[in-house]
Amino acid sequence: MYWLLLLFIYFLLDLSVKPISSLKCLDDSGKPVDWWILYKYPKTKGSQSRLFTGVSYGFITANDQNGWKLSAYDMTSPKSMIARTLKPFTVAKNCLIGHFIAISHHAVMHHLPSLIPKYKYSTNGLRNGQTMMCLSLSMQELANVVNANLLVARVYVYALYIGLEKSALEPKQHSDLYALIASKTCDSLRVETWRHPPGNPLPSNCSLSKIEVENVSEIKLEFKNSNLTGSFSSMCDHSKWAMSRKKAFNCVGDINRAESQFNRGGGTTCMIGNKNVWSSYNLILSTVINVKMILILRKIRIRWRS
């Protein structure tokens, strides 16, 4: 896999080397923000909409959380939020290591090699949807992440819950990460991940006690700064995100719901208690593969066979 759908960017703030403002996540206008989430949309064959050219993206930021905005730029532009954010690291060789930490299976280094040392969005990433997340962390916050997660997870495995909850999952646990999250939050989870074979993608799950893990099947697009609308199937989306059914709980990660993922490192970062972000994701949630419907279809199939 050459493309990472999630990008965790953690900035180690060191006044003696770089001004804090230059080591933060930057939004579409170049202003520093505590975090942003970017959703790059897939390239849809035959579509004339600018939404589905393979480089268009929407976003929400810490300073603008109430609904998705369609960016005036695209992923190839040096003015895109990902290009602006990575600029300090693409112009200074000596700040690549020590001041840029990419966590989630060594995301940037291994899955997006063309971003550093020179930002360039490859044509390999046009076809499918992608999600990226950027977080600005202080030195102390970064230390907490390392102590609570990386040392436990042996570096290549990472999961962080922003808030009071932190967790890490090792490949030897051989389990569905999203089922683990659902049990921790005590709420059903809607999950959007890559569901193409091979790898044995997991169906929606109702085997957990009183909670369900349901696969998203379609995403719809609407923006607060544009009249453009559209939708696309999860089958052309490489994104890995999840949201609770009722609670304000959202995750962006790099693990698919598939048996093949049980034996590899990876994780997800979750926001707890942010109703604005939860509502923003709820707006684009078009269709889920409902567990009850699956059970009904199974019963019909059994009766038909008998």
What was the pLDDT predicted at 223? 98
Name, in order, each residue with C-beta under 8 angstroms of 208's C-beta and a sequence gap of 6 or more. 179, 182, 183
> What is the DSSP secondary structure assignment for residue 176, as one 8-state letter?
-
What was the pLDDT predicted at 300? 60
Residue 2 lies inside a defined structural domain of this protein: no
Is residue 108 within a helix (H) or strand (E), and if so which, with residue range?
helix 107-111
Residue 37 lies inside a defined structural domain of this protein: yes
Residue 167 lies inside a defined structural domain of this protein: no
C-alpha 101/C-alpha 125 separation (Å) is: 22
Q: How many CB atoms lie within 10 A of CB 221?
A: 22
Residue 164 lies inside a defined structural domain of this protein: no
What one-letter code names the amino acid at 35? W
How do the pLDDT tens digits run along the chain, 306 residues long? Answer: 323 333 344 444 333 344 444 468 899 999 999 889 999 999 998 888 999 999 999 999 999 999 999 999 999 999 999 889 888 766 554 433 322 333 332 223 333 445 556 777 888 889 999 988 888 776 666 666 555 554 443 333 333 334 434 444 555 566 888 998 999 889 999 999 988 887 888 989 887 778 999 999 999 999 999 999 999 999 999 999 999 999 999 998 888 899 888 877 667 888 889 999 999 999 999 999 876 666 555 556 566 665
What was the pLDDT predicted at 209? 76
Task: Check: pTM over 0.85? Answer yes or no.
Answer: no
Residue 170 lies inside a defined structural domain of this protein: no
Q: How many domains does the chain have?
A: 1
Return left, alpha or beta for 88; rule: phi > 0 is left, psi -120 to 50 is alpha, else beta. alpha
Residue 214 lies inside a defined structural domain of this protein: yes
Q: How many CB atoms lie within 10 A of CB 143?
A: 12
Structural domain that includes position 232: 22-154+175-304
For residue 117, give both structure tokens: 């040392």
Work out whether the CA dihedral 262, 266, 272, 276 comes out positive or negative: negative
What was the pLDDT predicted at 200? 87
Residue 96 lies inside a defined structural domain of this protein: yes
Residue 92 lies inside a defined structural domain of this protein: yes
